Amino acid sequence: NGFGVKLGAIMRPFEYSPFKMGFALHSPIWYGLTDRTSATFFGTEDENIWDTRDYDAYGEELFVDYDFTTPWRFNLSASYTFDTFAAVNAEYELVDYSTASLEYTDGFEMDDLNSDIEANMQAQHIFRVGALFNLSDELSLRCGYNYISAPYKEDAAKVMFKMQDTSTEYMNLRETNIFTLGFGYAGSSFYFDMAYKLAMQKADFYNYYDAEFVNPSAEVDITRQTLLMSLGFRF
């Protein structure tokens, strides 16, 4: 469970101008979380070993309660309309993932994990720009671009001895570029909309953590193409 607050405003600074400015502030989300752990041990049929552990050596149930706080998020935007023919808008967003934090519900900090977050994460910059053109009363055209910077630092690493995990590999995501193109038709009896989205992202893949960074990384290119369509009828 968790909760957060979002506040925002849209302003038109010039009375007779279609230019608008926007500002939004997202508070952290304060989560209350519980991890529950159990383990089962088994061997060959001859050894007849079967043991399930839901409690530790002191008879306590294997669980931990802790709080997780996400970063603040800031957003600035601006838009302009050209009569009824076109509209353009731009948006900038900032979120610093290195400021996320964890602590036990009794108030004790998770120092190792918080140090890892600060050492591996960084501020992410998000930029969006889009335009809409009304080619006629029924037909419109849209296009957009979205840039998302890397959330991980270049030397980010997955340190195994600090984690309850058996997978050694990890992947550091890099910047993302997204392009969109779409059109829409709105008639008297039905409407139809189609959009194409191309997302391209780079990443560095590591087989395992290496403190000396001798372990070479493989550069990965992630490309996703999405086609969306919607059809509706008016009665």
One-letter amino acid of 179: F
Per-residue pLDDT of the chain (235 residues; tens, 9 = 90+): 899 999 999 999 998 899 999 999 999 999 999 988 777 666 666 666 656 666 665 566 678 889 999 999 999 999 999 988 999 999 999 999 999 999 998 877 788 889 889 999 999 999 999 999 999 989 999 999 999 999 999 888 877 655 556 778 888 899 999 999 999 999 889 999 999 999 999 999 988 877 666 667 889 999 999 999 999 998 8
Characterize 173-194 residue by residue with b for buried, 16 or more Cβ atoms within 10 angstroms of its Cβ, and e for exposed.
bbebebebebbbeeeeeeeebe
| Helix, coil or strand: residue 137 | coil
Q: Which residue has the tokens 């000396």?
A: 212
Global pTM value: 0.80
Q: Which residue has the tokens 């960074």?
A: 213
Contact of 184 with 139, CB cutoff 8 Å: yes
**Helix %, strand %, coil % of the chain (to 5):** 5, 60, 35
Angle at 168 between CA 96 and CA 123, to 5 degrees: 10
